[in-house]
């Protein structure tokens, strides 16, 4: 694991993933933060990591931005391939009332599904010679149709539908590219104390990020096409590292 790209990394889980991977890559490694803008926290992370963290402007809702970011990443990598791509960028919104009232489905699909699709297919060529070829989609238990009734309390139907579609997208890529050695999988990062999750969420952002990193590092060919739950000590009743049902 020498080179990593994380989309949606200006704050929250994405930012913490950059921080943790920066501490893990070798001295000549590179962790690239892809985001629409640099936050003060990201700027400090770049400054304090002495060349191990880079930045590219990346708006996954804009295909032209994705295409431009590929050239920026290629320049940062030099002769190295991209080893790991983590699709963390996403949007969330609630609906007031029943499902017929939702008017945000197009926006959710544009970012959470189409944005991820465009990002993956644009960066595949940079990963062709990697020995790892791991592509991760940050999903949610809300996207599990098997568990839909258990999470029916959450008033975000468009988000749930988009995450279910994201899971389906992950499976299709996994099947299509397994013959080239790629490992595609989705991860449920848990309910985290981010701006989206709120302060009453189960886990701190570092806890969730550490669990996600552990899954990514341990992933092998048997992980291809899976929907993985994180594993957190003390939370085994909810986050036990199992394969989740679609």
**Res 183 pLDDT > 80:** yes
Burial of 231 (0-12, 13-18, 19+ CB in 10 A): middle
Arithmetic mean of pLDDT, 13-18: 96
User: Residue 1: pLDDT band by 50, 70, 90 thresholds?
Assistant: low
Task: Summarize pLDDT for 194-239 with one digit per residue, the tens.
Answer: 877 777 888 999 999 999 999 999 999 999 999 999 999 999 999 9
**What is the SS3 assignment for 243?**
strand
Task: Summarize pLDDT for 99-114 with one digit per residue, the tens.
Answer: 999 999 999 999 999 9
Q: What is the pLDDT of residue 246?
A: 94
Q: What is the pLDDT of residue 196?
A: 75
The chain-wide mean pLDDT, for the chain, equals 95
Distance CA(115)–CA(96), nearest Å, equals 25
Q: What is the pLDDT of residue 50?
A: 81
Spatial strand order in the sheet of 84-87: 53-57, 30-35, 3-7, 84-87, 134-138, 183-188, 226-229
Phi and psi angles of residue 162, each rounded to the nearest 5 degrees, phi first? -65, -35
Distances, alpha carbon 93 to alpha carbons 44, 156, 180, in Å: 29, 6, 36
Nearest to residue 134, comparing CAs of 178, 85, 87?
85
Nearest to residue 208, comparing CAs of 22, 35, 12?
12
CATH 3.30.2130.10 fits 3-229, yes or no: no
Task: Summarize pLDDT for 81-91 with one digit per residue, the tens.
Answer: 999 999 999 99
Q: What is the pLDDT of residue 245?
A: 96
Distance CA(153)–CA(34), nearest Å, equals 33
Q: What is the pLDDT of residue 148?
A: 96
pTM of the model: 0.96
Task: Summarize pLDDT for 128-158 with one digit per residue, the tens.
Answer: 999 999 999 999 999 999 999 999 999 999 9
Task: Summarize pLDDT for 37-85 with one digit per residue, the tens.
Answer: 999 999 999 999 988 999 999 999 999 999 999 999 999 999 999 999 9
Nearest to residue 84, comparing CAs of 222, 216, 208?
216
Give the domain ranges of the chain.
Answer: 3-229
Q: What is the pLDDT of residue 195?
A: 73
Distance CA(230)–CA(141), nearest Å, equals 11
Distance CA(228)–CA(17), nearest Å, equals 17
């Amino acid at each position: 694991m020498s080179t990593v790209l994380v989309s949606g990394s200006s704050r929250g889980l994405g930012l913490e993933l950059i921080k943790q991977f920066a501490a893990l890559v070798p001295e000549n490694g590179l962790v690239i933060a892809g985001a629409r803008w640099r936050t003060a926290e990201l700027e400090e992370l770049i400054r304090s990591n002495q060349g191990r963290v880079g930045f590219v402007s990346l708006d996954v809702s804009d295909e032209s931005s994705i295409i431009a970011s590929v050239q920026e990443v290629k320049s940062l990598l030099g002769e190295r391939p991209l080893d790991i791509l983590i699709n963390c960028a996403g949007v969330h919104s609630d609906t007031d009332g029943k499902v017929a009232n939702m008017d945000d489905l197009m926006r959710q699909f544009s970012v959470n599904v189409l944005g991820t699709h465009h990002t993956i297919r644009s960066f595949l060529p940079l990963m062709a010679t990697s020995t790892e070829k791991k592509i991760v989609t940050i999903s949610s238990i809300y996207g599990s149709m098997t568990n839909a009734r258990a999470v029916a309390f959450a008033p975000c139907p468009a988000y749930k539908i988009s995450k279910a579609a994201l899971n389906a997208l992950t499976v299709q890529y996994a099947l299509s590219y397994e013959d080239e050695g790629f490992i595609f999988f989705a991860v449920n990062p848990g309910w985290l104390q981010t701006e989206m999750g709120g302060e009453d969420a189960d886990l701190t952002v570092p806890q969730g990020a550490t669990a996600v990193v552990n899954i990514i590092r341990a992933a092998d060919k048997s992980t291809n096409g899976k929907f993985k739950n994180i594993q957190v000590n003390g939370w085994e009743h909810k986050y036990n590292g199992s394969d989740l049902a679609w």
